Structure 1
Amino acid sequence: MESNSVGLVTPRTFTFGSVEEPMVLESGRTLGPVDIVYETYGEPNADRSNAILICHALSGDHHAAGHHDPHDRRSGWWDNMIGPGKGFDTNRYWVICSNIIGGCKGSTGPVSIHPATGEPYRLAFPVVTIGDMVEAQKRLLDHLQVRRLYSMAGGSMGGFQVLEWALRYPERVRSAICIASAARLSAQAIAFNTVGRSAITRDPEWHAGGYEGRGPEQGLATARMVGHITYLSEILLDAKFGRRLQSADRFCYNFTNEFAIESYLNYKGSAFTERFDANSYLYITKAMDYFDISRSYGPLKQAFARVAARCLFVSYSSDWLFPTSQTKEMVRAMLCNSKPVSFIEVDSPYGHDAFLVEEEKLTRIVSGFLEGVAR
């Protein structure tokens, strides 16, 4: 294990609400009791003012850094960013990451047991929003006695949560880092989510959400393949795969996977079905589709007047899912309100996934920003 790793970590569960006193969702429906699974890295200072909340993207979870056991080959999804001397330096900060509600990694979601039936919720689980996810995170921070976050950070859907926090609870956020994200999903992004959900719901093994066991594996794999294409750039795909054939020097003239890119996407799709639930994919992508700052808080200039946090926005030159133009929209809204804001577009060939791949660049950016917050 690396010397600058957070080492072995143990997930914990916080439960709030009940059938009698449930959490009221934005839809008007209720949920209770609610479990939130989370991990922490580093130590809190005396007044817990050094807390940083990490928000994960669609396929992420609470396990952002370290290992669950000594033989665990996979570290947390942002392990290169969280730890001693890293971007989120656990020698200085107390870092918290929780699994969103609606997910399938321990927090209450469609795979959880419905208290009224003793069976999994499945499609009886209410549709949740980014705002609902943030509300659940707030309950967790209240439990952890964090009155005000030193900072918070997230990429993609994690960025949605960062923005929602800064707008909904401005007094609770000292600084915010929004990476490869936007004020709303574009019609194009909603279209890709729609195709993914359609692949799942048209799989004969979906059974209207009532599947047992592995369920609609083919549909979920296809959804992941479609989604994964949006995370990469044309430059990267051409450089990594081009038109290279997988295992032959001539065409087979059939419908097997001949091109290297076909085999890669099939591998990514199949691997995803081993660790994710199809119904959760439906719920989370729907929450992403619903997110729209202007719909909830008014035009961006008006909405960002609420923000009290010092903000850092990071975009990537080859990200066509959340292009830089969408980030600049938010930066302009902050500047119009004379809010403290920093912005950088990172030149990268890695597309939307760059914030998970080029962590060395992001470390320099984040470290400098957090130092500035202290000053």
Structure 2
Amino acid sequence: MSALGDPISEWAGGFATGGLVHLNGNSLGPPRVDLTDRLAAVVTDQWTPGQVRAWFRDGWLDLPRTVGDKLAPLLGAAEGQVVIAGDTTSTTLFNALVAACRLRERPVLLIEAEAFPTDLYIAASVARLLGRELVVESRDGFDTYLGEHGDRVGVALAAPVDFRTGRRRDIGSTTALCHAVGALAVWDLCHAAGVLPTNLDTNDVDLAIGCGYKYLGGGPGAPAFLYVAARWQSEVDFPLAGWHGHADPFAMTPDFVPAAGIDRGRNGTPPLLSLVALDHALEPLVAVGIDELHRRTKELGEAFLAGLRPDIEVVSPRDPDQRGGHLALRLPDADAVEHGLAERNVLVDARPPDLIRVAFAPLYVTPEHVRTATEAIHSVLAPPN
């Protein structure tokens, strides 16, 4: 049996791929084949007979915590520190950033220039709202600024994987650098959760957020998750004080009293069906475990590189330990390449101006898919000179 063979390839048959090669799981991957059965059971066996009583009878109200605790091992977090807040990634990031800034009354909110655009937009909005100075630095400048002006930084927002190139930033050393100067570290795990060990507890992370629809496979618009280290949970003050984050939601009191622990990060009524879909998607990921998922992702990436024509420029680090779950190729007219691959049943995505991202979600991408993808890329591109 080869390193890229079974048994992990057997998981691929459990996904409804529609005969396509899904190399864009860093945006949206396929559902598991029995997802419709799970959702139908909730509608038929819980919602229909229970109606509003199902919130209590079938555990619906507890799902944000239940699913959060199921996700926690993939993030390297102990129970009681992750909740599916029921919001979009943008809303959850806003909530986390404001809360972090309230814990550190310092003038600067620091972020990398290469951050995902939403992170830049939200950070700028938070800075305006709280009267903070937003400092946007290059990747290397981020560390330099912390070293030279760290006493001014209240919160630093970073991501362990560059969404364009896949290049990694080390969570442990960056968080330690933040803490050495008295700043808090907030992490965006959207392009890491499900393929990369993040070890949030071991790395002493303060707060983190991430989406449910990329490598976690929760489906389009799946709700985001929120991590708050246990040491901050009695102090953290979220700006979005929804009734489900109240200590006694059904008391309907006029004043907000935050719930104990991670539940104070909840807001409005949970998006039940989306939570069920995310819960369902997490089952095989948790069963395999993050270390095996990461190993498989690296091996698939290495196999892809081995089969790629040497004249194609690879922007991502060649060292698999220095990148996340995807590789970025620099190709002229990347949009046309993306469409050409789609016509050959290979799904990737383009990022302007000239990058193609190829992602290796470990449970439904197989060595055969990798070979198909490299052959398709070569057929789309003009022959080398």
Q: Same fold (TM over 0.5)?
A: no
Name the TM-score, length of structure 1 as normaliser: 0.27
Name the TM-score, length of structure 2 as normaliser: 0.27
User: By percentage of residues, which structure has more helix?
Assistant: 2
